[in-house]
Amino acid sequence: MTANQKKDKNKTVYRVEGFSCINCAGIFEKNVKSLPNVIDAKVNFGAAKVTVYGQTTMEELEKAGSFENLRIIPEKQHHDLQKEPYWKTDWHVLASLFFLVIGFLLGLQYGEGTLGSSLAYGAAILIGGFRLFQKGIHNLFRLQFDMSTLMTVAILGAAAIGEWGEGATVVILFAISEGLERYSMEKARQSIRSLMDLAPKEALIRRDSEEILIPVDEIQVGDIMLIKPGQKLAMDGVVVKGSSSINQATITGESVPVVKTIGDPVYAGTINEEGFLEVKVTKSVEDTTIAKIIHLVEEAQAKRAPSQAFVDRFAKYYTPIIILLAFATAIIPPLFLDATWSESIYRGLALLVVGCPCALVISTPVSIVTAIGNAAKNGVLIKGGIHLEEAGKLSAIAFDKTGTLTKGTPEVTDFITYGHQNEQDLITIAAAIEKGSQHPLASAILRHAVKRNLDLSQKVTDFRSLTGKGVKAKIKNEFYYIGSPQLFNERFASNLKQEHLSQIHSLQRQGKTVMVLGTEKEILALIAVADEVRPTSKEVVEQLHQLGIQKTIMLTGDHPRAADTIGKRLGISEVKAELLPEEKLDYIKQLQKEDKVAMVGDGVNDAPALAASTVGIAMGGAGTDTALETADIALMADDLSKLPYTIRLSRKTLAIIKQNIAFSLGIKLLALILIVPGWLTLWMAIFADMGATLIVTLNSLRLLWVKAHKEKRTSAVNAT
């Protein structure tokens, strides 16, 4: 067993309640790593989880988080978050505010600095800042200069130089700032909690002719789940009895219910709207589609985006520099410039407060967490901040044709006969031969024959596949051939008359793939097959062009004429036809020399091209493990309508992150400038810090309002 396997074997995941800031999450992670028998630990602040590698107990973990009064809960344990009233959780803030008001009133009545007002302000500082001082002093002894340390030094320093009122004001404003930060992260995490609550915690199961209501953890693969109209499905499965329309919005983001009948897959968290269904369970509770989505979204929130990595590196050097500047501001003027000690120390303390990087540090993660959660609710799975940011920078998008721009199920559109045999007999012959073929075009001929209720029991012998060109088989002692025009051109060129060639070229110009049915002596029929274009494809391409992505490319192995016809119909700017999978990969690599390029496919085919692109986008992620595992972004529904929304969301996220960083640094710079003439007071410094934090968090939460637009039916009709 390798070291990594041993590490994963001893992995335990817990949920954490009580995180108030990113710095606290970092301290908690460091504390957990230092516990005996713990090999490693990873804290996911966005998802409020800790992964522990090694052996420990919840008591030890809560002790490691006691500085923040963190509560630890096993990941799989069902837990309803109890929201306590503000006056219970933050009574100390209210009490501190009460003494601050008393101190202010006493100061008005008897003058600032009197014993009464100073005692009231002191009580406000002690009561409101007790928890803060515990953390700050503890970190100070460890030389950990985080937000708590800076605030503790500033408040106690203000009291030491007699600025009791301002010290008390800083305590109150800092407490409010922490509360707002906690609220914003809870709001962002709520999108994940709402996903976790989608699937019921128990289900009605039939076992041994008995119907029992049991928790989902006890349901086994193969159990029969009974779903009444209006109920949510608790597990993934396959319909074995009944028919109904299922609202799959929770998984795919589709608002229109989908009809499900025997043999169709259904997913946990979706709603049975009409009929009674019996569903055979196919996955355990931890492997359901909704469980995988939640897991992948939480993992995505832990992956740092490039902008967040920049902010973290910046903050690492920024905080010590601020401390040194504050120290220099406090001691240099009195020593060398004849300034008073109290005035210089006051300015140093103000610099310390305003220098807190709270707004800067929180600017990126709140945006990323909010955007990824919003995307998941709209049926788009984004597997990390880096992919979210890259999607916002795309300048080119390449599409696989079959199954992406088209439905992937070719249908016979034309059956043109020649000679003495009637159409019905020739369709029967073609279908009988193609029964032995695995090619998608063969299945189109078979479906065409089944729709016409034709007898397919015709005896076929000597079936042979002519690789890449067609098939041949013997029926009633005569060989029949079905294949491309190229096959007949090579073997029986004299049979192809001008009449046949003109008809073939005419059908190909319409974007259809043409097969020829014939014998060694004559051409019997032309069979035209087309893969139907998705109704939304044209509008999606139009929307992408409107978003500024002018370079849209269709990559296909299809005939150039058929590919060009579909490309023009959809408004695709460039078409590359007759490509093998490795040629698609080469083309993507070539594109990447000039553009940030996304490859959109089904997550199974063209995997090399998806992996090589800047962002690999897979369609139909619901129920497709490959799509969920291999793609950077998965569109859970099997259509393209969410692609423009994903680009808009990514660009909006990038813009908001840049706004947050610029605003956070700008407000700090302005406050630092005000310190020079002595215009910046302590309470103004904390107010600037708190205001910046509030503004960047509210700005980030605007990403919750980015919606997936409904398709315009007019464009959809035009596309068909």
Question: Of 64, 128, 225, 241, nearest to 686 (Cα)?
Answer: 128
**Cβ neighbours of residue 81 under 8 Å, at least 6 residues apart?**
17, 193
Sheet-wide strand order for 258-260: 258-260, 244-247, 271-272
Query: Which DSSP string corresponds to 396-465?
Result: EEEEEIIIIIEEEEEEEEEEEE-SSS-HHHHHHHHHHHHTT---HHHHHHHHHHHHTT-------EEEEE
284: helix, coil or strand? Answer: coil
DSSP class of 304: P
Average pLDDT, consecutive stretches of 10 residues, N- to C-terminus, the chain (720 residues) = 55 79 76 88 80 87 80 71 56 80 81 78 83 76 70 78 77 73 64 68 87 89 91 91 86 76 89 90 85 73 63 71 82 84 82 74 79 84 85 90 80 87 88 78 86 82 79 87 86 86 86 86 89 86 91 84 85 86 84 88 70 85 63 82 92 91 85 77 73 82 76 36
Q: What is the pLDDT of residue 190?
A: 65
Q: How far apart are CA 382 and CA 300, in angstroms?
A: 7
Domain 407-532 superfamily per CATH: Calcium-transporting ATPase, cytoplasmic domain N (3.40.1110.10)
Q: How far apart are CA 683 and CA 173, in angstroms?
A: 8
**Cβ neighbours of residue 716 under 8 Å, at least 6 residues apart?**
535, 536, 538, 539
- Pure H helices in 272-379: 289-302, 306-336, 341-354, 358-377
Question: Of 361, 355, 365, 363, nearest to 667 (Cα)?
Answer: 355
Fold of 383-402+534-643: Rossmann fold (3.40.50)
Q: What is the pLDDT of residue 713?
A: 36
* Cβ-based neighbour number of residue 130 at 10 Å: 12
Question: Of 401, 455, 462, 402, nearest to 429 (Cα)?
Answer: 455
Q: What are phi and psi of 604, to 5 degrees?
A: -115, -60
| E strands in 100-195 | none
361: helix, coil or strand? Answer: helix
Sheet-wide strand order for 49-54: 38-44, 49-54, 11-17, 71-74
Strand partners, 529: 412, 513
Strand partners, 599: 398, 616
| E strands in 155-251 | 202-207, 210-215, 224-227, 237-241, 244-247
What kind and span of H or E run contains 382? Answer: strand 380-382
Q: How far apart are CA 291 and CA 29, in angstroms?
A: 25
Q: How far apart are CA 301 and CA 631, in angstroms?
A: 16
CATH number for domain 3-82, candidates 3.30.70.100, 3.10.450.50, 3.40.50.2300, 3.20.20.70: 3.30.70.100
Q: Where are the domains of the chain?
A: 3-82, 89-191+299-368+654-705, 202-287, 383-402+534-643, 407-532
37: helix, coil or strand? Answer: coil
pLDDT digits (tens, 9 = 90+) for 514-552: 889 988 888 999 999 887 888 889 999 999 999 999 899
Helix 164-196 and helix 115-141: axis angle, to 10°? 50
Tokens 């990390």 appear where? 384
Catalytic residues: 400
Residue 265 contacts residue 252 (beta carbons within 8 Å) = no
Sheet-wide strand order for 633-635: 380-382, 633-635, 615-619, 597-601, 396-400, 551-555, 574-576
pTM: 0.70
Q: Which two tokens stand for residue 530?
A: 């087309």
CATH architecture of structural domain 202-287: Distorted Sandwich (2.70)
Residue 537 contacts residue 555 (beta carbons within 8 Å) = no
Question: Of 395, 408, 384, 382, nearest to 604 (Cα)?
Answer: 408
Tokens 């610029």 appear where? 662
HEC letters along 328-351: HHHHHHHHHCCCCHHHHHHHHHHH
Chain-centre distance of CA 191, in angstroms?
11
Sheet-wide strand order for 523-533: 406-417, 523-533, 513-518, 478-483, 470-475, 461-466
In one-letter notation, the amino acid at residue 607 is: A
